[in-house]
Chain A
Amino acid sequence: MKYLFGLYLTFSVFFSSLVLWGYQNASSVLFAASEKQTLSFSFQNDVAKEFVEEKIQSLSTKYKFKAWTLHSPADQYSEFTKSFTMYNQGAFDSEEIIKLIPYSVDFILNAEQDASQIQKNIAEENIFQETGTAKNWLDKLKSISELVENFGRGLFLFLFLTTAMMTVATIRILILKDDAEIKVRSYLGESFNAFVGQYLLKTSVPCIFSFCIGLLMTYIVYHLLMLKLKHLPEFYFIMARLNFLSSTSVLTLVVGFSAAFLFGYYFSIRQLHSRLYDQD
């Protein structure tokens, strides 16, 4: 039972730290996977190049974008004809077509910038005919991290509750095993605090051990992943954004599992108290 409990605790620490780690890195990895956080806008058709450049310059200083790319109508036309060669056969007058194509611009945002908020603000300036974004992508991203968060919360709750229950069960079994001895010692004048201390030591040391092993396992997984990614240059951008558990995450784990343990310990030791020292 003791070993089963240790094993259980190790794995629950392992799983919850993995989830926590995943959650912690989800946004940065997902953003990395989207390659860039981009807002794209199309100007009105009839605006002049000077106007376009001036507007881009002013927006860029206002929002402090990381970078921007301007696509002129001619650029877009040649991009377009590259893919659809038949239009290049002179069916249409290229000059006429280019006139129909607006200037468009991609703003590349910094990671911490709120794309949808900025998009809304820019749209209000009424200089663009169309504001496309990576918005769909961002929405998806948001729902994924929400999912991870909810899943993580559920898992934590489950693991904490079961850890508390397992603690109660383990200590009760330990106490039950020592029942005769405990009774005799209490008749010889052993104080309740001595039992509290003894069983706290007896159970917390293996718990701390299991906790460390669980965390170590997560670290090994993280380390192996990093080693693997190192050899895959196309994932370099992911690797560069991955971190091991932050101190806040580790603290969350420590506090959570300690709370579960102490909760379980308190309950089982209370029963011992009433059994040994409540005169009925």
Chain B
Amino acid sequence: MLKLRHVYKTYQNDRHVLRDLNFEANESGLYFIKGESGSGKTTLFKLLTAMTKPTSGEIFFNSVSISNLNAEKISEYRKNVGIIFQDYKLISSLTIAENIALPLKIQKLSATEIQKKLNALTEKLNLKDFINEYPDYISGGQQQKAAVARALIGNPELIIADEPTGNLDAQNSSGLIQILADYAEAHSVKGATVFIATHDESVLQKNNRRTLTLQNGQLNS
């Protein structure tokens, strides 16, 4: 479903951050991507979310190249991608419920449908304590959960999580990773693909899962 072919990414300073990166995710499920700081994890995720395009090479999602999309196609594609930002990026003028429901609203679902999905997810992720609060008035862990809920609610095929456990303690980290792993398995028939970037070794050790290493601009298992 996801395929990167000879992907290069070079910023102005001529250093190849990604160099001839080839990778194919044939199976759905959860992948850890580990790499030192500055190895290009965020750069890779920006490519996967169509925020930037490769200097050369191509990226395919379900056999469609996402490297050269117009604005309309970009937003279509992003509706099928759930992004969990390291800094959550919740909108502070909206309640947690409104934040979580935003992808569905953007997809123009009806209010009743949105409410139904929101209720189900609130139940599943145990968000009801703070669902009507504003982001600035809840804890970092609660914000993190809300950000995960927002990424999951649209039922995307691909989830990109950049250092999602950065501010969580070990127990909460494992809880979050379990939620994402469950999601990857449960998603429709094929399952979903979840990428989690981290440079936290302890998270990797505690959660024994498929891990890819980003090194010298290449991704290896």
Query: Is B170 positioned at the interface, with any CB of A under 8 Å from its CB?
Result: no
B contact face: mostly helix, strand, loop, or mixed: loop
Interface string of A171-193 (1 = CB under 8 A from B): 00000000011011111111111
Give the number of residue pairs across the A-B interface with Cβ within 8 Å.
Answer: 62
- Is B75 a contact partner of A279 (Cβ separation < 8 A)? no
Which residues on A sit within 8 Å (CB–CB) of B72? 191-193
Query: Is A280 positioned at the interface, with any CB of B under 8 Å from its CB?
Result: yes
Contact of B89 among A180, A190, A193 (CB under 8 A): A180
> CB-nearest residue of chain B relative to A193?
B72
Query: Is B52 positioned at the interface, with any CB of A under 8 Å from its CB?
Result: yes
Contact of A189 among B51, B69, B106 (CB under 8 A): B106
> CB-nearest residue of chain B relative to A181?
B91
- Is B75 a contact partner of A192 (Cβ separation < 8 A)? yes
Contact of B75 among A180, A190, A280 (CB under 8 A): A190
- Is A277 a contact partner of B103 (Cβ separation < 8 A)? no
Which residues on A sit within 8 Å (CB–CB) of B93? 181
- Is A184 a contact partner of B50 (Cβ separation < 8 A)? no
Give the residue among A184, A185, A276, A279 with the most B Cβ atoms within 10 A. Answer: A279
- Is A188 a contact partner of B53 (Cβ separation < 8 A)? no
Assuming A273-B71, A277-B74, is B50 touching A188 (CB within 8 A)?
no
Q: How far is the CA of A133 from the CA of B67 in the complex (A)?
A: 80
Q: How far is the CB of A257 from chain B (nearest CB, A)?
A: 29
Q: How far is the CA of A191 from the CA of B71 in the complex (A)?
A: 7
Query: Is B102 positioned at the interface, with any CB of A under 8 Å from its CB?
Result: yes
Chain A contact patch, size range: 10 to 19
Which residues on A sit within 8 Å (CB–CB) of B78? 186-189
Which residues on A sit within 8 Å (CB–CB) of B75? 186, 189-192, 277
Q: How far is the CA of A186 from the CA of B74 in the complex (A)?
A: 9
Which residues on B sit within 8 Å (CB–CB) of A280? 52-53
Q: How far is the CB of B204 from chain A (nearest CB, A)?
A: 26
Q: How far is the CB of A280 from chain B (nearest CB, A)?
A: 6
Where the two chains meet, the residues of B that have a C-beta atom closer than 8 Å to any C-beta of A are 49-53, 67-72, 74-81, 83, 89, 91, 93, 102-103, 106-107, 150, 154
Given contacts A276-B71, A279-B74, 14 further A-B contacts (CB under 8 A): A184-B102, A185-B106, A188-B102, A188-B103, A188-B150, A189-B77, A189-B103, A190-B106, A192-B72, A193-B72, A277-B74, A279-B50, A279-B53, A279-B68
A-B contact pairs, 11 of them (CB 8 A): A180-B89, A181-B93, A185-B102, A188-B78, A188-B103, A189-B76, A189-B106, A190-B106, A273-B71, A279-B52, A279-B69
